[in-house]
Amino acid sequence: MGCRDTGRLSIDAVREITGIEWQRMVTDSAGSVEVLHNLSRPYPDDQGTGKAPTVVGVKRPISDSEARQIAVQFMLENSGLFVPRALMGDLRAEDLAVGEVISNTYPAEYASRGTDFTVIFSQVYKGIPVFEATSRLSLTQYGEIWSVKNGFAALNNPPTSPQIDEVGALLSARYALADPTANPQKAPALMILAPSKLVWRLNFLLPHFQEILVDAITGEIALMRKNVRDQTPRVLTEGTVGKVHMGATR
């Protein structure tokens, strides 16, 4: 069962919902509710002094598959914190694609941390990847979650059946590039562009990298940029500025 919609969030409410003593929280507005963009707390090993952590529950280092399982469970159980449930419903397992589980090791002065993990998620909508919607969750070697960076998008019932096929998308992209012979690095890929567009993604290598998103319903150019550094900071609603919340240590 997913987390309830939370309206305007407080760090104390998020602590209660998740059972974790977070110390820093960044939120974005998504309609009438706030969703979490970032959660963090000091690394639970006495801030890197080498002192062994006090562990509740699991007493042994976890495996990467266990890290994946813990991360997925946390995201699903608290989904109302990361996407607006009133708009999208609860996240389901099929909405989360685990792209990678990274094993992290540390130098000698942090040897007590052992090997910890970062789990990277990509958002999926009805089987279609959501453009640039990734989240990261970091865990200690014992499975304690200490950082969440949420990049999931608020979606508003985007279509999933294209009206423009791959050939039409390529023609639109070539027109935008003013190059009738341009060919993408690989075949166009369907993606969801938040909040409500279905697009074809095409990447070209001209004299420089060019990325184009073509609206899969109208054939119009939804996004065009020379490289990924051209992107603007992510906001969930137009004109919204993220809020930072700091919590006192209890």
Domain ranges of the chain: 11-151+234-246, 166-230
User: SS3 for 42?
Assistant: coil
Of 3-12, 91-100, 155-164, 167-176, the one with minimum mean pLDDT is 3-12
Write the CA distances from 174 to 54, 107, 163, 199, 230, integer angstroms.
59, 50, 18, 16, 20
Give 224's Cβ-side CA count (13 Å radius).
11
CA distance 166 to 201: 10
- Per the prediction, the chain carries an average pLDDT of 83
Give pLDDT, residue 239. 32
pLDDT score recorded for residue 119 = 97
Tell me the mean pLDDT in the region 202-229.
88
Residue 43 pLDDT > 70 = yes
Torsion over CA: 148, 154, 157, 160 (sign): negative
137 vs 73: CA distance, rounded Å: 11
pLDDT value of position 30:
57
Q: Judging by DSSP bridges, how do beta strands 128-139 and 197-205 pair with one another?
A: unpaired
Look up the CATH number of domain 166-230: 3.10.450
Average pLDDT of span 8-22: 89
Q: What share of the chain has pLDDT > 90, as a percent? A: 60
Span 37-41, average pLDDT: 93
DSSP letter string over 141-173?
TTS-EEEEE--PPP------S-SS-HHHHHHHH
The total of other beta-carbon atoms located within 10 Å of residue 24's CB is 15
In 10 A of CB 241, how many CB atoms? 8
CA dihedral 71, 76, 82, 85 (to 10 degrees): 180
pLDDT at 95 over 70: yes
Residues 119-147 have a mean pLDDT of: 95
Report the predicted TM-score, pTM, of the whole model to 2 decimal places. Answer: 0.79
* pLDDT mean over 38-63: 66
Q: Is the pLDDT of residue 44 over 90?
A: no
